[in-house]
A and B are shown apart, each in its own frame.
Chain A
Amino acid sequence: MAVTTTPTAPRRTRLAEVTPANLRRRYLRDRVMIGLLVLATLVVLIPLLVIVWYVISNGIQAVLEPTFWTSDLGSPARALSGRETGLGHTVLGTLVVDGLALLIAVPIGIGAGIMLSEYPDHPLTPALRILNDTLNGMPAILKGLLAFALIVKPMGTFSGLSGGVALAFVMLPIVARATEGVLRIIPWSIREAGLALGLPRWRVVLNTVLPAARVGVVTGVLIAFARAAGEAAPLLFTAFGNNFFSSAPLRYLTGPVDTLPARLYSLAISPYREWHAMGWGAGVVLLGFVIVTFVVSRCATRQRHQADM
């Protein structure tokens, strides 16, 4: 740690000269800074809370319509003439794509996290850490391009499958990093206890380390999920979008499928007022989705802290 910067000489002398006027000025500066800090906090929090408030107040009406959940979107003419329209197919598609992303990312991400934390002696571990961080730092849109090149091009069609894979690419490095972080907190004495009982290394990981870190791993997965669920960029050229319910269940994987973030984008840039309202509605659903995930993970973390005490 080479950063213990000591205050420079002129400042130190200033501290030493304590005349009443000087002191008053220093206290004044202290007060002013507190004011500025409070101001900064308000400047940051207020616009962001305003966004949340606008989305909810503009979108809540669309969400409360039952047809929003049961009907599909169809052509703009449907919304313009006031016929039944909604985002049922979008919600369904989102569940399929996000579920698929979870199915892919959770085992691989946790596995890689275990490698990072439990096999520090493996020659590939340092490389994995670097490449995982690299992948984590890459914009989500590039992961969409990757899924496009790996799946959409060979399949010849946009598909829910490729969308799920693209989101999995987003989740993977986050899950791996979070798992590593949680497993490392587990004291080595627990592993040593397991080994002393004669357990092989893999049983130690699966039966003592992972269960002890269960809550933290779930939290990491939820954070990754919340992040991926809000991503639209990688879905635009993988899942692509679809205005209708798919004809057969399997078509959700093999054909173009609608997802909330991507649909929100296309509704927002569409020229129809009715679609804008549904776009706000999609925003409410998406925001609700993210907030619920977030709150659940927060509660889990808090419970763990309480259990520790």
Chain B
Amino acid sequence: MQRSATSAIIRAPTKAIYRRLGDNAFQTVVVGFGITIMLLAITLAWVLLRDGWEPLRIFGFLGFLTGTTWDPVQNDYGTWPFIVGTLITSVAGLALSFFPALGVAIFTAEYAPRWLASIIDTIVDLLAAIPSVVVGIWGIFVLVPFLQNNVYLPVYFWTFEHAPQLLPVLGAPAGYNLVTATIVLALMIVPYTAALARDSIRLVPRSQREAARALGATRWEVMRMAVIPYARGGIVAGAILSFGRAIGETMAVAMLVGNSNTLPFTLFGPAATMPSVIVNEFREAVENLHLASLMTVGFYLFLISLVVNLIAAWMQRRYTVGGGAL
């Protein structure tokens, strides 16, 4: 209320013309910059739709969405394999990282002494800034050989001997596969989820905790009964934002997912996601329709990200939780 009152004061007409000129010029510039950003967001959607229009015309909106073949040689395109790959890796990545991230958030926000909490906070924020390609190169030269020798091959051989009916699900171990991509994705979004969860836990009023303590609750009971239910909306909104981040995560996944365009994907066999196929094929695409199809994949990626972000924004607004700058 104070704000609108102040706005009214600011808007009070002044007589000096030079002021009005200066104000007008400044406002024009500032609003111009704002409009630039608005135009960018709109242009992004429009450009993806325009350049990806041809495949939509040929295969249809639903036909392209559900088409299971992606064959540049036959000029037959459908985005379903990549949507499946994106959803599997993102959902599994989030599932894998959510509870550890929540643990870090609870530990730093409630349990750790202040000095330790500030150190962990700093490290978590720093880790959120590690570039995707750097994680990718580590994945290629360290994680993949390690997992291949210590997990994929032993599990595969064990299954081969004891439960051969599971082999179609596992697939031949390729090192670069869905599981590797999921693990790396989980690693990459964990700091993000943790930071957002921590922020919403810190927003829980002290009185909420004190009331629970006064009832004789132990520390964990305070967390479980008073703090987490209160912060739940913010934590979930943060998880959805992390999910959005995982959907768009490109480089590390493209380097580790193995890049196979044909369904069905197997756990240990190569797969692909929407961003990974764009990265891998965009520079090599010579056919116009191939290029346009990649743009269309981008358009679907846009739509999915939009929906996920809108849901997160709606939840955040509903539960009034900050932390959008990260």
- Is B135 on the interface with A (CB-CB < 8 A)? yes
Known: A115-B34, A177-B324. A44 touches B104 (CB 8 A): yes
A-contacting residues, B22-37, CB 8 Å:
22-23, 25-27, 29-37
CB atoms of A134 and B275 under 8 A apart:
no
Q: Which of B60-68, B153-161, B163-171, B211-219 contacts A (4 or more CB under 8 A)?
A: B211-219
- Is A89 on the interface with B (CB-CB < 8 A)? no
Q: Determine chain A's interface SS by DSSP, over half rule.
A: helix
> Among the listed A51, A135, A150, which residue makes an inter-chain contact with B41, where contact means beta carbons less than 8 Å apart?
A135
Known: A41-B120, A195-B10, A286-B131. A54 touches B34 (CB 8 A): no
CB atoms of A44 and B133 under 8 A apart:
no
Interface size class of A (residues with CB under 8 A): 35 or more
A-contacting residues, B181-218, CB 8 Å:
187, 190-191, 194, 208, 212, 215-218
- Is A300 on the interface with B (CB-CB < 8 A)? no
- Is B151 on the interface with A (CB-CB < 8 A)? no
Q: Which residues of B contact A141 (CB under 8 A)?
A: 248, 250, 275, 278-279, 298, 301
- Is A306 on the interface with B (CB-CB < 8 A)? no
Nearest-CB residue, chain A, relative to B137 = A268
CB atoms of B34 and A112 under 8 A apart:
yes
- Is B286 on the interface with A (CB-CB < 8 A)? no
CB atoms of B37 and A178 under 8 A apart:
no
- Interface flags, A76-105, vs B, CB<8A=1, else 0: 000000000000000000000000000000
- Is B103 on the interface with A (CB-CB < 8 A)? yes
User: Nearest Cβ distance between residue B17 and chain A, in whole angstroms?
Assistant: 11
Q: Which residues of B contact A49 (CB under 8 A)?
A: 123, 127
Nearest-CB residue, chain B, relative to A118 = B30
Q: Determine chain B's interface SS by DSSP, over half rule.
A: helix
CB atoms of A279 and B14 under 8 A apart:
no
- Is B225 on the interface with A (CB-CB < 8 A)? yes
- Is B232 on the interface with A (CB-CB < 8 A)? yes
- Is B91 on the interface with A (CB-CB < 8 A)? no
CB atoms of A287 and B130 under 8 A apart:
yes
Nearest-CB residue, chain B, relative to A58 = B141
CB atoms of A188 and B2 under 8 A apart:
yes
CB atoms of B134 and A286 under 8 A apart:
yes
- Is A67 on the interface with B (CB-CB < 8 A)? no
CB atoms of B302 and A232 under 8 A apart:
no
Q: Which of B42-50, B77-85, B264-272 contacts A (4 or more CB under 8 A)?
A: B42-50
CB atoms of B33 and A146 under 8 A apart:
no
A-contacting residues, B109-151, CB 8 Å:
111, 120, 122-127, 129-138, 140-142
CB atoms of A125 and B34 under 8 A apart:
yes
> Among the listed A146, A172, A192, A265, which residue makes an inter-chain contact with B6, where contact means beta carbons less than 8 Å apart?
A192
B-contacting residues, A224-271, CB 8 Å:
226-227, 229-233, 236-237, 240, 261, 264-265, 268-269
User: Nearest Cβ distance between residue A84 and chain B, in whole angstroms?
Assistant: 23
Known: A45-B120, A236-B279. A38 touches B37 (CB 8 A): no
CB atoms of B309 and A261 under 8 A apart:
no
> Among the listed A41, A127, A232, which residue makes an inter-chain contact with B133, where contact means beta carbons less than 8 Å apart?
A232
Q: Which residues of B contact A145 (CB under 8 A)?
A: 47-48, 51, 278, 282, 295, 298
Q: Which residues of A contact B19 (CB under 8 A)?
A: 200
- Is A68 on the interface with B (CB-CB < 8 A)? no
Taken together as a complex, chains A and B put the C-alpha atoms of A28 and B217 apart, in Å, by 13
- Is B221 on the interface with A (CB-CB < 8 A)? yes
A-B contact count (CB 8 A): 317
Taken together as a complex, chains A and B put the C-alpha atoms of A41 and B187 apart, in Å, by 13
CB atoms of B217 and A15 under 8 A apart:
yes
Taken together as a complex, chains A and B put the C-alpha atoms of A47 and B130 apart, in Å, by 13
Nearest-CB residue, chain B, relative to A114 = B30
Q: Which residues of B contact A195 (CB under 8 A)?
A: 9-10
CB atoms of A115 and B31 under 8 A apart:
yes
- Interface flags, A199-215, vs B, CB<8A=1, else 0: 01111011000000000
User: Nearest Cβ distance between residue A24 and chain B, in whole angstroms?
Assistant: 11
CB atoms of B218 and A201 under 8 A apart:
no
- Is B57 on the interface with A (CB-CB < 8 A)? no
Q: Which residues of B contact A108 (CB under 8 A)?
A: 33, 36-37
- Is A7 on the interface with B (CB-CB < 8 A)? yes
CB atoms of B302 and A150 under 8 A apart:
no
CB atoms of A115 and B129 under 8 A apart:
no
- Interface flags, B283-326, vs A, CB<8A=1, else 0: 10000000000010010011001101100110000011000111
> Among the listed B2, B38, B230, which residue makes an inter-chain contact with A4, where contact means beta carbons less than 8 Å apart?
B230
Q: Which residues of B contact A37 (CB under 8 A)?
A: 103-104, 106-107, 111
Nearest-CB residue, chain A, relative to B230 = A3
A139-B250, A172-B40 given; 15 more Cβ-contact pairs under 8 Å: A7-B225, A41-B104, A44-B100, A45-B124, A48-B190, A111-B34, A121-B11, A137-B305, A145-B48, A192-B9, A200-B14, A233-B132, A236-B282, A261-B133, A268-B137
26 residue pairs of the A-B complex, CB under 8 angstroms, read A5-B230, A7-B229, A15-B215, A34-B111, A44-B104, A44-B194, A51-B187, A115-B30, A115-B31, A121-B7, A132-B37, A137-B309, A138-B41, A142-B302, A188-B6, A201-B10, A202-B27, A203-B22, A230-B130, A230-B131, A230-B132, A230-B133, A236-B279, A236-B283, A264-B134, A287-B130
